Amino acid sequence: MGKPCKKMNKTVPKRKIRIRILLSFVAFAAILFLLGVRLVFLQLIQGGELQQKAVEQQTRDNLVASQRGAILDRNHKKLAQSSTAQTVTANPNEMQKAKKDLQETAEKLAAVLDMETDTIKAMLEKKTNHVTIKRRVEDDVATAVRELELTGVYLQEDAKRYYPYGNFASHILGFVGDDNQGLGGIEAEYEEQLKGAPGRVIALKNALDNDMPFKDEKYINPENGTNVVLTIDEVIQHFAEKHLEKAYYEEKVREGASVIVTDVQTGEILAMAVKPDFDLNAPFALSEEDTALIESITNSEERSTARSNALQQMWRNKAVVDSYEPGSCFKIITGCMALEEGLITPETPFFCSGSKRVEDHNISCSHREGHGTQTFADGVKNSCNPVFIDVGLMVGKEKFKEYYKAFGFLEPTGFDLPGEAKGVFYADADYNTVELATASFGQGPKVTPLQLISAVGAVANGGKLMRPYLVKELLDADGNVVKKTEPTVVRQVISQKTSEQMCAMLENTVINGTGQNAYIKGYRVAGKTGTSEKIPRGNGKYISSFIAFAPANDPKIACLVVLDEPSNGQYYGGAIAAPVVGKILEDTLRYLDVEPQYTEEEKQNLDVFVPDVKGLSRDNAIKNLTNENLNYRIAGNGETVKEQMPKPGSSLAAGSVVILYTEDSTSNKVTVPDVSNLSLSEVQSRLAEHRLNLIVSGAATTGNASHLTIADGQYPEAGAQVDEGSIIEVEFRYLDVD
C-alpha cells in the first residue's frame, strides 16, 4: 500500500516543472510577439519618421537657392535678373553645446552685418539648429563674416533679385519677397516657371552637432528657373512711361493714370504703364507723403492697416484691375453695332438740338447749342451724344447687350497678370430705355482699359477680337524655346466693311474733329476722345481718356491713355489725354520705321534742315539758304560767314530766318517771350519781333482749325536768355474737344 503513494509524490514535481516550462515559454513567446509587434510598428508605421530624425540628427542639410529665371523684353533686354548672394545663418544648439560666448559672437556679427547686437543675440539664444540672421548679403560682407571664423555661423548660397531699371514697368514685372517668391505681376503669375528648384548640401555631423572632421558632403545642384520673354518692347515702354508721367504731374492727376500700347493685329502688349509707380528694388518703400500720413496715426493697428492699404494701392495695376465708365470712347463700339446691323451708313442724317429727351430725362450734348443737321460721320467727328442716343435706340436693348458681350466686355480677357477685372453691365431688371440711351455714349456700364483697347483693336484690324497677351515665350537656360504664345482670335465681331467705315470716320475725327490734339504730321491717326463724370454725378470728378490707332489705313498699333481725376483745371479727354497718345504714337511709329504718308498740304509745310554755310562767302551762303526755302539776315560787314544761328542740322519751318555772322563777335542775346494762350499767327508775330524762329507741334499742324488752337507749352520757357535766331518749340492744343 505504501509504494503507490511514493510514486504519486514523484509525479507531482515533474508536472510542476512542465507547467513552469510551459509558462516560461508562453511568457518568452509573448515577449517575442510584443517585440515583433513593436518592431513591425517601428519599421512600418514609424519607420519613415524615425529615419528622417536619424538623418536630421546625423547630417546637416542646407538648401542651395536656385536662380530665378530672368524676365526679358521682346528683344531680350533683361528687365529682371538674379545674381548670386550669401545668406548668413547660425546653429544656436551647436554654439550652446560648445559653450561659446553668445554676446561676443553677436557683437562681432552686428558690426559686420549692420544689425543690432541684441537682435542677433536673441536669435542665438533660441533652442534650434537653424536661424537665419541676414538674407542676401553682398560679397564683401560675406567675406567679412567668413573671416570671423565663428563656430556655428555659416554662409548659405542664395540668390538676389535685381531690377536694372528701378521703377520701369513695375506694375508688369512685379517683385519678390524675402523668400524669393513672386509677389506681384509676372513674378507672381509665372512663379512656377521662374522659381526653379533649390539644390542641397548634405554633410555629416557628430553628437555635439558639430561638423565631422572629415569631408563627406553630397552636393545636389539647383535647377534654375525658366526665362520669361515678354511682348513688351523696352523702347516703346520708355516712350509710354515718359509721356504718361509728364501728363500725370502736369494735370495733377489725383487717382492715377494708365497707358496701354498694343499690336492690333496680334493682341501683343507692347507697353503698359501706371503712374504713380514704385521702385522694384525697394517695393515696400512708400512715398514721403504716404509715410508721413501713416506715421501720424497713433493707433498701431490702424497704422498697420493704413500702411497695408497704401502698399496695395501703390501696387495696383489700374490698366488691368480697375473698371471705369469709358465715356465717348465707347461710341466707337456703339457705331459699329449699328453699321454691322445695317441700320445706318456714314451718310445717314441726324439732328442735334443740343439735347435729347428720353422718357422723362433730358440728356445734353457737350455742344450745348447743338450741331444741327449732320451725318453719322459728322456725329462721330463731333462726338455728339444725341446722335449716339438715336443710334443706340435703333440697335435696341437685346442687340446692344449681345454686342457688348461679343466685344468681350462681360468676361476677363484671360490676360497674363493677376487680378484682372471684367466689365460691368446693367442687371436685366435695371436695364431700360434710359439706361440704353446713356450706355450708347459710354455712361453707365464699366469696362477695364485692357478690355477697351482689345475691343477697339478689333475695330482696327478688320473685326477680329484678339486675346491680349504679355508673355511671348518661355526659354530654358540654353535659350531653347520651351513654350511659345501664338496670337489667338477670340471671335469675329464685325465685318471688314464695318471696320473700314469706322476707321475712316475716326481718322476724320483726328484730322477735322474733336481728336485733333492727337494729330501727327505724316501719319494717319484714327482716334476718339472720352470724358466721363464719376459717380455721384455733379461731384466735379472726371476720368479723361483718349484711344487711337495708326496708321488708319493699315493699323499696326493702338494706344489708350486714361487720366483718373485730373485737377489742374482741364478735364476733357480731347484736351489732356489726346496729346499724350499723339506723342506716344509718333515716337513709336518712328521707332518702328513706319513710313510717313504726307498729304500734299503737309509736304508744302514740311520742316527743312538748316544747311551748314560756315566758311562760305556771303553770296554762296545766301544761295544755299534760298535753295532750302529759308530766309536770312546778315550780321556784320565781312564777306565770309563765320557763324550761323540756328546751328547746322537744325529743323526749321520753311520761310524761317537764319542769321549769318560775318565778323568775330558774339551773337546777340534775346529774352524768350511768353506765348501761352496765343493763336498760331500771334505766336509767329511775337517770336518774329524777338528775332526768334518757331517750330510748331501739336494740333496747329493740322492746318484745319488753327483759329481754334492756342499755345499750351513752349521750350525754352519764357524768360530764358537765348541767341537771336534760336528755335522756340511751341505746342498747340485744339480747343473744341470733349
Q: What share of the chain is helix, strand, coil (3-state, %, to 5)?
A: 40, 25, 35
pLDDT reading at 10 higher than 60: no
pLDDT of residue 424: 92
Lowest mean pLDDT segment, chosen from 153-162, 229-238, 669-678: 153-162
Count H helices, E strands: the chain? 25, 31
- Tell me which DSSP letter residue 535 carries: S
Interval 331-374: pLDDT, tens: 999 999 999 999 999 999 999 999 999 998 899 888 888 999 99
pLDDT of residue 1: 47
- In the structure grid, which three cell numbers stand for residue 134, read together? 541676414
pLDDT of residue 201: 62
Task: Work out the pLDDT band at 33, boundaries 50, 70, 90.
Answer: confident
pLDDT reading at 454 higher than 90: yes
The β-bridge relationship of strands 669-671 and 721-723 is antiparallel
Q: What is the mean pLDDT of residues 595-614?
A: 86
pLDDT of residue 136: 81
| Angle (nearest 5°) at CA 450 between 448 and 455 | 95
If phi over 0 gives left and psi between -120 and 50 gives alpha, with beta otherwise, what is residue 691?
A: left
Q: What is the mean pLDDT of residues 46-60?
A: 65
Residues identified as active-site: 328
- In the structure grid, which three cell numbers stand for residue 716, read together? 525754352
pLDDT reading at 224 higher than 90: no
Q: What is the mean pLDDT of residues 189-196?
A: 91
Task: Work out the pLDDT band at 664, boundaries 50, 70, 90.
Answer: confident
6-15 burial, b at 16+ Cβ within 10 Å, e below that, comes to eeeeeeeeee
Q: What is the mean pLDDT of residues 110-138?
A: 87
What does the alpha-carbon distance between residue 614 and residue 641 come to, in Å, rounded to a whole number? Answer: 5
Lowest mean pLDDT segment, chosen from 48-62, 394-408, 486-500: 48-62
Contacts of 431 (CB under 8 A, 6+ apart): 397, 401, 425
pLDDT of residue 200: 67
pLDDT of residue 179: 78
Q: What is the mean pLDDT of residues 537-544?
A: 92
What does the alpha-carbon distance between residue 521 and residue 606 come to, in Å, rounded to a whole number? Answer: 9
pLDDT of residue 163: 95
What does the alpha-carbon distance between residue 478 and residue 227 come to, in Å, rounded to a whole number? Answer: 10
| Angle (nearest 5°) at CA 558 between 555 and 563 | 155
pLDDT of residue 49: 72
Q: What is the mean pLDDT of residues 154-176?
A: 90
Contacts of 166 (CB under 8 A, 6+ apart): 279, 280, 281
Q: What is the mean pLDDT of residues 99-119?
A: 87
Listed in sequence order, the DSSP H helices in 407-551 are 433-439, 449-460, 496-512
The β-bridge relationship of strands 727-734 and 709-715 is antiparallel
pLDDT of residue 474: 96
DSSP readout, 562-588?
Answer: EEES--SS---HHHHTHHHHHHHHHHH
Interval 278-326: pLDDT, tens: 999 999 999 888 999 999 998 989 999 999 999 999 999 999 999 999 9
What does the alpha-carbon distance between residue 367 and residue 357 come to, in Å, rounded to a whole number? Answer: 16
The β-bridge relationship of strands 693-698 and 727-734 is parallel
Is 87:136 a contact under the CB 8 Å cutoff? yes
The top-scoring range by mean pLDDT among 96-105, 124-133, 616-625, 677-686 is 616-625
What does the alpha-carbon distance between residue 174 and residue 283 come to, in Å, rounded to a whole number? Answer: 9
Contacts of 414 (CB under 8 A, 6+ apart): 420, 467
With residue 249 as reference, give the H or E element that holds it: helix 234-250
Task: Work out the pLDDT band at 206, boundaries 50, 70, 90.
Answer: low
Burial of 370 (0-12, 13-18, 19+ CB in 10 A): middle
Q: Of 661, 648, 649, which is closest to residue 618 (Cα–Cα)?
A: 661
Burial of 324 (0-12, 13-18, 19+ CB in 10 A): buried
What does the alpha-carbon distance between residue 37 and residue 51 come to, in Å, rounded to a whole number? Answer: 18
Q: What percent of the chain has pLDDT over 70?
A: 91
pLDDT reading at 704 higher than 70: no
With residue 728 as reference, give the H or E element that holds it: strand 727-734
Q: What is the mean pLDDT of residues 427-453?
A: 95
Task: Work out the pLDDT band at 59, boundaries 50, 70, 90.
Answer: low
pLDDT of residue 680: 85
Q: What is the mean pLDDT of residues 521-550?
A: 94
Contacts of 350 (CB under 8 A, 6+ apart): 373, 374, 375, 376, 379, 384, 386, 387, 390
Interval 376-432: pLDDT, tens: 999 999 999 999 999 999 999 999 999 999 999 999 999 999 899 988 999 999 999
E strand spans, 205-348? 218-220, 227-230, 257-263, 269-275
Mean pLDDT of the chain: 89
| Angle (nearest 5°) at CA 160 between 155 and 161 | 170
Q: What percent of the chain has pLDDT over 90?
A: 57
The β-bridge relationship of strands 71-72 and 227-230 is parallel
If phi over 0 gives left and psi between -120 and 50 gives alpha, with beta otherwise, what is residue 180?
A: left
Burial of 330 (0-12, 13-18, 19+ CB in 10 A): buried
